[in-house]
Amino acid sequence: MNSSSPLRLGILGSGKGSNFQVLVEAARSKSCYYEPVMVLSDVADAGILKLADQFKIQSRFVEPGPFKTKLSEAIEQEMVAHLQAAQVDFVALAGFMRIVKEPLLKAFPGRILNIHPSLLPQFPGLAAWKQAHEAHVAETGCTVHLVDEGIDTGKILGQSRVPVFPEDTPEMVHARIQQAEHELYPRIVNQFSKDLIASKKYK
């Protein structure tokens, strides 16, 4: 472990939690500057909640409300309250399928990270691997970026490239991107944590 106490990481996710799993495994297997301490999900039976139980990390389902792609301000405030109660220093999105709005952005300014399955600014939005496949690009990849008010528009912190072959299906492209994500995300989250500790801007 590093000489400073690791920063406390909150994770938001809607799916099976594969990126959450690699973040936890990285934090527990080597010297690391972050420690996952809270998982919130907008999907009651999401795999990420089951994984959190297996890893003995505090987790909670948050009722998402009526909107398809975002949360109401009141529900986001509830999420902020859970994260602050867990004394979270920064937040990582791991397959969180809703747009993050002002309550979370204001509570954690410049301290919310996301991983997106394309080489941003190419192919923002949903199913980016399908977008890449349909565009017949020779390569795509994944991007870790800060979350801001836009859709996949925040400052880029790191990228990893993967090839796209003529015989690929969208599923094959997605699987190759996920492999790259599982290496990139823990590495960038750890570097971000280290830089935050050095800057003392996390409190």
Q: What is the pLDDT of residues 81-126, one digit of tens each?
A: 999 999 999 999 999 999 999 999 999 999 999 999 999 999 999 9
d(C-alpha 36, C-alpha 13), whole Å: 13
- The catalytic residue among 82, 116, 133, 145 is 116
List, for residues 159-203, the tens digit of each pLDDT value.
Answer: 999 999 999 999 999 999 999 999 999 999 999 999 999 987 666
The burial class, CB within 10 Å (0-12 / 13-18 / 19+), for 68 is: exposed
Check residue 90 and give its pLDDT. Answer: 98
What's the pTM value of the predicted model, to 2 decimals? 0.94
For 7-199, which CATH superfamily applies?
A: Formyl transferase, N-terminal domain (3.40.50.170)
Domain ranges, ordered by start, for the chain: 7-199
- Our answer to whether residue 116 is catalytic in this structure is yes
